[in-house]
C-alpha cells in the first residue's frame, strides 16, 4: 500500500510539471494479499481447509441461539418461576406456545445462512477444486459439506416440516433479483427425501476418501461417524413422526436407522467414559463424535449461555445484601436480616461427592437467573445412577444450621428437599488464564457414543428386540 501511495504521489508531481507519465491503474487494481474475496480466495488447498475452521466457528453460534432454544427448552422440564424473583426467559417456548403470533424463530432459524456456505463449498470443490485439490481431499471436503448441509436441513425439518431447498450459491454466482431468488417451500416428504439423499451422498464420498480433517481435533469437524449418527436420527425420526404429507410408520426406516447406530458403536473405536464428569470436562475424549469447541483459550469464546442463566449470581437482585438464595419455612424467598449463601462446588473424591474448600461464586460474574428445572427432573434418575448426584446446588437448611450455613447433600431426596439454582453440573467452570472469574471452558457435544446406544435401544424397542 505504501508503494501504491508513493506512485500516486509521484504521478501527481510528474503531471504538475506537464510531463507525460504512465497510468498507475495497474497498481491501483492490486489486491492486498490478505484481502479475501471470491476473486482472491479458493486458490490453494490451505484456503479450502481454512474455510472449514471458519464454518465450525459460524456453527458455534447456533449452539445456544437455536439448538438449546429449539431443543431442551421445549422439553417440559422447566418451571415458569425462579428462586431469585428474576423473570423467566422464553416463557412462550417453555409452554410450547408456537403459532403465527409467536413463531419463536424467524427466517427458518437462520439455518439457510449456514447452508449457503456449504453450497459454496460444494460448488468450489466441483469447479476450482478439481484443479487445486487431490481427489482424497476434494471428496473428503464434499462429504463434510453434504453431511453438514443435511444436518442443517434436518434441524429445519423438525421445526417446520417442508422448507425451501436451496442447493446452489445463487448470489455468489451473480443472481441478485429477489423474484428469481424466491423459492417456494418443498413439501415435508420432499424435504425429508432430500435430507436422506444428502446424508447418503456424504457417506458414499467418505467411503471413497481417506481424508481426515484435523485428526488431533477431529470431533470438532464433521466426519463419517457424524454422518452415520445423523442418518440414524433421520431414519428413526422418519419412522416415528408424521409431518405434513409424510406418513410415519413401517419397520424399514427403523431397520435402516438401527444399522447406522450399530456402525457408529462398532466401527470407529469410540468408547464410553468411565465416569460422567469426564464426558464434559475432557476435550476430545473417546466418547466424542461431533462437538462444538468452547475449550480453547486461543479462541477466547466460552459457553456462557445458557449455563449462567441457570444460576443466581452476584449481580442478581439483592446482591448488595450479600446473598444469592434463601429458604424459610414457607419455601423459597428472602428472610429479613439473614443471608444463606450457597456456592461450594461439589466434586468427586474417593468415590464420594464432597465440597471444595473455595466457594465457586466468590469469582463468579454471571448475570441474573432465567431458567429453573423442575424438581420432577430428579425423579427420572435411578437410585444407582451417579448422574443424580450431579445436580448443583442441592442443599437444605436443617434446624441446627438454619441461619448459619447451608449443606451440600451427597444423597438428595426430592421428597424432603428442593433443587436450588437447579443447574446440572455436567458443564463445570474454571478460571481462564488472565481472568479473575469463572468461565465455562467446556466443549458442547452434539453427538457422543452414549447417544448412539440410546437411539439403538429405541430402535430395538420398536422392533421388539
The string of pLDDT tens digits covering residues 394-429 is 444 444 443 343 344 445 555 555 555 455 556 766
Higher pLDDT pick, 393 / 97: 97
Residue 425 pLDDT = 54
Residue listed under C-alpha cell 433479483: 177
Q: Is pLDDT of 2 > 50? A: no
Over range 81-100, report the average pLDDT.
82
Residue 372 pLDDT = 78
Lowest mean pLDDT among 38-52, 277-291, 361-375: 361-375
Report DSSP state, residue 80. S
pTM of the full structure: 0.80
Higher pLDDT pick, 381 / 435: 435
What whole-number distance in Å separates Cα of residue 171 and Cα of residue 177? Answer: 9
Residue 368 pLDDT = 74
Residue 361 pLDDT = 52
What whole-number distance in Å separates Cα of residue 362 and Cα of residue 343? Answer: 8
What whole-number distance in Å separates Cα of residue 389 and Cα of residue 266? Answer: 30
What is the count of structural domains for the chain?
2
Q: Please list the residues that pair with 97 across neighbouring strands.
A: none
pLDDT digits (tens, 9 = 90+) for 258-279: 999 999 999 999 999 987 777 8
Q: Is the peptide bond before 393 cis (omega within 30 degrees of 0)?
A: yes
What whole-number distance in Å separates Cα of residue 29 and Cα of residue 12? Answer: 18
Lowest mean pLDDT among 100-109, 139-148, 180-189: 100-109
Q: How confident is the model at residue 238 (pLDDT cuts 50, 70, 90)?
A: very high
Residue 118 lies in a domain: yes
Residue 178 pLDDT = 86
Higher pLDDT pick, 341 / 463: 463
Same domain, yes or no, for 49 and 187? yes
Same domain, yes or no, for 66 and 119? yes
Residue 282 lies in a domain: no
Same domain, yes or no, for 65 and 132? yes
C-alpha cell at 210: 481417506
C-alpha cell at 431: 478460571
C-alpha cell at 26: 495497474
Q: Is the peptide bond before 427 cis (omega within 30 degrees of 0)?
A: no
Same domain, yes or no, for 87 and 202? yes
Over range 154-163, report the average pLDDT.
95
H helix or E strand, kind and range, residue 54: helix 45-60
Residue 345 pLDDT = 41
Residue-wise DSSP of 249-315: --HHHHHHHHHHHHHHHHHS-----SSHHHHHHSTT-TTEEEEE----TTTT----TTGGGGS--TT
Residue 304 pLDDT = 77
Higher pLDDT pick, 106 / 19: 106
Q: Is pLDDT of 11 > 80? A: no
Tell me if 287 sits within 8 A of 347, measured CB to CB: no
Residue 82 lies in a domain: yes
Show the domain range for 52: 45-246
Residue 36 lies in a domain: no
Same domain, yes or no, for 70 and 190? yes
pLDDT digits (tens, 9 = 90+) for 357-383: 444 455 666 667 788 777 667 667 776
Residue listed under C-alpha cell 487494481: 29
Neighbouring residues of 210: CB distance < 8 A, sequence distance ≥ 6: 136, 140
Residue 331 pLDDT = 33
Residue 272 pLDDT = 95
Same domain, yes or no, for 95 and 151? yes
Same domain, yes or no, for 146 and 237? yes
Residue 310 pLDDT = 74
Neighbouring residues of 76: CB distance < 8 A, sequence distance ≥ 6: none
- Give the domain-ending residue among 185, 216, 246: 246
Same domain, yes or no, for 4 and 138? no
Same domain, yes or no, for 97 and 212? yes
Main-chain dihedrals φ then ψ at residue 355, nearest 5 degrees? -85, 140
Amino acid at each position: 500500500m505504501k508503494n501504491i501511495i508513493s506512485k500516486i504521489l509521484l504521478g501527481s508531481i510528474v503531471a504538475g510539471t506537464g510531463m507525460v507519465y504512465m497510468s498507475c491503474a495497474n497498481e491501483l487494481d492490486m489486491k492486498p494479499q490478505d484481502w479475501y474475496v471470491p476473486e482472491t480466495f479458493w486458490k490453494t488447498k490451505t484456503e479450502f481447509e481454512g474455510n472449514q475452521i471458519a464454518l465450525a466457528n459460524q456453527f458455534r453460534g447456533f449452539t445456544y441461539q437455536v439448538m438449546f432454544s429449539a431443543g431442551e427448552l421445549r422439553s417440559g422440564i422447566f418451571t415458569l418461576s425462579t428462586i431469585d424473583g428474576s423473570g423467566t426467559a422464553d416463557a412462550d417456548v417453555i409452554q410450547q406456545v408456537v403459532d403465527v403470533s409467536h413463531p419463536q424463530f424467524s427466517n427458518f432459524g437462520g439455518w439457510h445462512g449456514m447452508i449457503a456456505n456449504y453450497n459454496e463449498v460444494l460448488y468450489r470443490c466441483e469447479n476450482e477444486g478439481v484443479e487445486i485439490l487431490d481427489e482424497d481431499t476434494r471428496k473428503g471436503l464434499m462429504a463434510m459439506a453434504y453431511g453438514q448441509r443435511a444436518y442443517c436441513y434436518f434441524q429445519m425439518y423438525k421445526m417446520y416440516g417442508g422448507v425451501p431447498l436451496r442447493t446452489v450459491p445463487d448470489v455468489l454466482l451473480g443472481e441478485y433479483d429477489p423474484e428469481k431468488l424466491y423459492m417456494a417451500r418443498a413439501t415435508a416428504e420432499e424435504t425429508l427425501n432430500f435430507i436422506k439423499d444428502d446424508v447418503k451422498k456424504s457417506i458414499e464420498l467418505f467411503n471413497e476418501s481417506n481424508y481426515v480433517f484435523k485428526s488431533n481435533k477431529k470431533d470438532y469437524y464433521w466426519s463419517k461417524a457424524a454422518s452415520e449418527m445423523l442418518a440414524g436420527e433421520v431414519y428413526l425420526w422418519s419412522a416415528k413422526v408424521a409431518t405434513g404429507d409424510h406418513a410415519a410408520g413401517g419397520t424399514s426406516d427403523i431397520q435402516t436407522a438401527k444399522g447406522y447406530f450399530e456402525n457408529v458403536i462398532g466401527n470407529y473405536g469410540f468408547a464410553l467414559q468411565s465416569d460422567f464428569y469426564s464426558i464434559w470436562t475432557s476435550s476430545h475424549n473417546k466418547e466424542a463424535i461431533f462437538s462444538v469447541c468452547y475449550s480453547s483459550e486461543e479462541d477466547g469464546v466460552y459457553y456462557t449461555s445458557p449455563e449462567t442463566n441457570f444460576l443466581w449470581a452476584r449481580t442478581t437482585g439483592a446482591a448488595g445484601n450479600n446473598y444469592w438464595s434463601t429458604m424459610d419455612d414457607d419455601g423459597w424467598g428472602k428472610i429479613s436480616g439473614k443471608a444463606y449463601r450457597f456456592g461450594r462446588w461439589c466434586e468427586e473424591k474417593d468415590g464420594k461427592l464432597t465440597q471444595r474448600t473455595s466457594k465457586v461464586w466468590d469469582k463468579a460474574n454471571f448475570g441474573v437467573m432465567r431458567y429453573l428445572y423442575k424438581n420432577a427432573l430428579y425423579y427420572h434418575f435411578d437410585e444407582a445412577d451417579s448422574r443424580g448426584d450431579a445436580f448443583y446446588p442441592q442443599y437444605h437448611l436443617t434446624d441446627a444450621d438454619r441461619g448459619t450455613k447451608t449443606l451440600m447433600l451427597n444423597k438428595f431426596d426430592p421428597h424432603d428437599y428442593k433443587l436450588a439454582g437447579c443447574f446440572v453440573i455436567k458443564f463445570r467452570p474454571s478460571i481462564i488464564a488472565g481472568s479473575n472469574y469463572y468461565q465455562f471452558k467446556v466443549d458442547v457435544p452434539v453427538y457422543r457414543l452414549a447417544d448412539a446406544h440410546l437411539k439403538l435401544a429405541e430402535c430395538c424397542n420398536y422392533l421388539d428386540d
